[in-house]
Structure 1
């Protein structure tokens, strides 16, 4: 079973995405900011657990934003997983910053369930 970490400061977004992913059969954990997400990912590795198979990350969050989270995550010597940045920021410069930070895909909110799940499956290497 694939494990997804949702990183977003909005509880409603986390609940929305969790419902989509769990209904599709994924195991989901949540973090309310980038710092909490980084600690969660590193703790899983330190405990010998398999890290996450996918990160779904917001940009604007307190304590550590999505860009900073991905840059920090990518610097650690742990198994890396794809990351989908999901944000209200829609400028080309926002997309570029996301890819430079380590995102594999950039989606502008609101993320509709069917396309979001299609992209999750693609990032996880699953057939449609």
Structure 2
């Protein structure tokens, strides 16, 4: 199986969308519906890439990302924050929390696959 990717988003339809795109690339996709669950899953089985929503119940994306960056076993995992939030310094806030990339929803499949390939060091399709 290919690289492990953890998708953390409270919307089941969004997780399915990413699962279809990443699965089509050969990635093994794990899902979590909030930041706390995402942290737990990452600690048990560290992924090679994390896709992280900002607005979620229990633990939001910024808090989740800061916690990931403090954890020695998880701090170097590339993380893409993907959100509907625009403007108001959201991208800067994401990068300050430790994001490798900040994207706005909806993300076109080709953009997601291109960025995923770059962050995972995969060959172009």
Q: Structures share a fold, TM > 0.5?
A: yes
- Any idea what SS the aligned residue of 2:89 has? helix
2:101, 2:68 → 1: CA distance?
16
1:127 deviates by 2.4
1:12-58 CA distance string (max 9 Å, x none): 000000000001100000000000000111122xxxxxx10000000
Structure 2: unaligned runs, 5 residues or longer: none
Offset of residue 126 of structure 1: 1.6
Question: Paired residues, what number?
Answer: 122
**Unaligned runs of at least 5 residues, structure 1:** 45-50
Give the TM-score normalised by the residue count of structure 2.
Answer: 0.94
1:72 aligns with 2:73: no
Q: What residue in structure 2 maps to residue 103 of structure 1?
A: 99
State the partner residue of 1:114.
110
Please say which of residues 16-25 and 91-100 is displaced more in the overlay.
Answer: 91-100
Moved over 2 A (4+): none
Partner of 2:86 in structure 1? Answer: 90
